[in-house]
Amino acid sequence: MKLTKQEEQMLNGKMGNAVRKSMEILVALGEIYGADRLIDVASVQVAGVSYDNLGDAGLEFLADLAKDGQVKVLTTLNPAGMDLENWKVLGISEDFAKKQAQVIEAFSKMGIVTTCTCTPYLIGNLPRFGDHIAWSESSAVAFANSVLGAKTNREGGPSALAAALTGKTPNYGMHLDANRQAQITVEVKAKLRDTSEFGALGHVIGNRIKNKIPFITGVKQADIDQLKSFSASIATYGGTALYHIKGITPNKTKKPKEKITVTQEDIESALKAMNDPGDEVDFVSLGCPHASIKELRQIANLLKGKKVKVETWIATARPTKKIADTMGYTKMIEDSGAKFACDTCMVVAPLKGRFKSLVTDSAKSCFYGRSKNNFKMRVGTVEQCINAAVNGIWKH
Ligand code: F3S
């Protein structure tokens, strides 16, 4: 990989230890993937924020970089292991909270905006069409590449942080237009009404095409919330970082000859596969990916004047909740007994053993609820989820 004179100096430690370590990571990655050079990035989103995943080794790594590291571009964080302000309300232990606060402090010292969210595009980290960026969170990566038309590989925590500390990333993968063309056509012959059904679509397509890039036809309309649900689901079940939807997403692509079809029955089977038998509920979680202000309004209206019977979390970015505060939605939600889970979510928080049966509208939460926490899963519309929270029972 060809480096500029300045990049050579960065690699040789002339700009400090954090830049040297970051360059070592980026150059090693570039060599592995055959990048010709480093390119500038417009923004970064760093994953690997929860102390639950990082442990003490991760914390040490961050503290070391924070000694002289300063980010060069706008950088935000993925969700942490707790609500940074109201962790006690969510049942997080004092020991965990202390360690998580140290993690956030290290990031803050590096100049990172410590807003912890998987929907950075909703809170001001919004790249333009064609921008090269270095984002980590799989749903945000799929959304950025597909819906915004920005260009990013799915970065690991260390490589995203390295991009933040240098403002650069190796030029390979999704940064190259040749790698962004669709590889398979997916004809959708189903009516999709809500986030759970868009999640089910991602479940079906992801399972069938794995990490191929699809050109999807037959989807008449999709709003931002439905697209963020779909992005999370297709990335979880298939692993793709980019999709095209005819008439909806902005990237240009050829229509591939190889074709599969998704029917209404496929959507229903996917929803069935995500629902375990039984009707018991002890945990309801909405906001995966983090809820938008429109979703908070819907949840607030559904909860107005009611009381929840089971632990209910609404995960969102803190700036989104601030808007909800001024709109009165926060009061409507909290008066019902439901709790905000800002800066975090049910997947990255340390929840193992606390609950048995999770209700959600998110296909991605279903995957991790099963694989990480061994929950029995119920997946349905937001209305069904709120009904389950209020009645303490799941209606299939
Ligand atoms: Fe976001 Fe957590 Fe879901 S990071 S996409 S809310 S699993």
Tokens of 146: 């597909």
Question: Which is the closest atom of ligand 1 to the Cα of 290?
Answer: 6
CA 281/CA 357 separation, integer angstroms: 5
Please indicate whether residue 364, judged by its CB atom, sits closer than 6 Å to ligand 1: yes
Q: pLDDT tens for residues 360-387?
A: 999 999 999 999 999 999 999 999 999 9
Mean pLDDT for all residues in the chain = 97
- CA distance linking residue 11 with residue 31, whole number of Å: 14
Residue whose CA lies nearest to ligand 1 atom number 4: 118
Q: Which of 349, 342, 382 is nearest to 368 (CA)?
A: 349
Peptide bond into 250 cis (omega under 30): no
The residue whose C-alpha atom lies closest to atom 3 belonging to ligand 1 is 288
% of the chain surpassing 70 pLDDT = 100
| Amino acid residing at 382 | V
| Distance of CA 244 from the midpoint of ligand 1 (Å) | 22
DSSP-based helix, strand, coil % in the chain, nearest 5: 45, 20, 40
Considering all CA atoms of the chain, what is the largest pairwise distance in Å, rounded to the nearest integer? Answer: 65
Say yes or no: CB of residue 288 within 6 Å of ligand 1.
Answer: yes
Q: Span 154-171, mean pLDDT?
A: 98
* 136, 47 contact by CB (below 8 A): yes
Question: Residue 10: its pLDDT value, please?
Answer: 98
The H or E element that residue 186 is part of is strand 184-189
Whose CA is closest to atom 2 on ligand 1?
A: 345
Beta bridge partners of 150: none
Would the pTM of this model clear 0.85, i.e. be above it? yes
Asked if 228 contacts 295 with a C-beta cutoff of 8 angstroms, the reply is no
Ligand 1: distance of its center to the CA of 288 in Å?
5
Instruction: Please indicate whether residue 289, judged by its CB atom, sits closer than 6 Å to ligand 1.
Output: yes
The residues pairing with 378 across neighbouring beta strands, listed in sequence order, are 359
Report whether residue 167 contacts ligand 1, using a CB cutoff of 6 Å: no
Indicate the top mutation candidate among 77, 136, 139 to test ligand 1's pocket, ranked by most ligand atoms within 8 A of CB.
Answer: 139
65 alpha-carbon distance from chain centroid: 24
- The finding on whether 139 has its CB within 6 A of some atom of ligand 1 is yes
pLDDT score of 327: 98
| Alpha carbon nearest to ligand 1 atom 7, residue | 347
Q: What are the pLDDT digits (tens) for 165-180? A: 999 999 999 999 999 9
- How far, CA to CA in Å, does 338 sit from each of 133, 216, 305, 320? 36, 37, 12, 17
360 - beta bridge partners? 379
Would you call 86 exposed, middle or buried from its count of C-beta atoms within 10 A (0-12, 13-18, 19+)?
middle
Q: How far is the CA of 285 from the centre of ligand 1 (A)?
A: 11
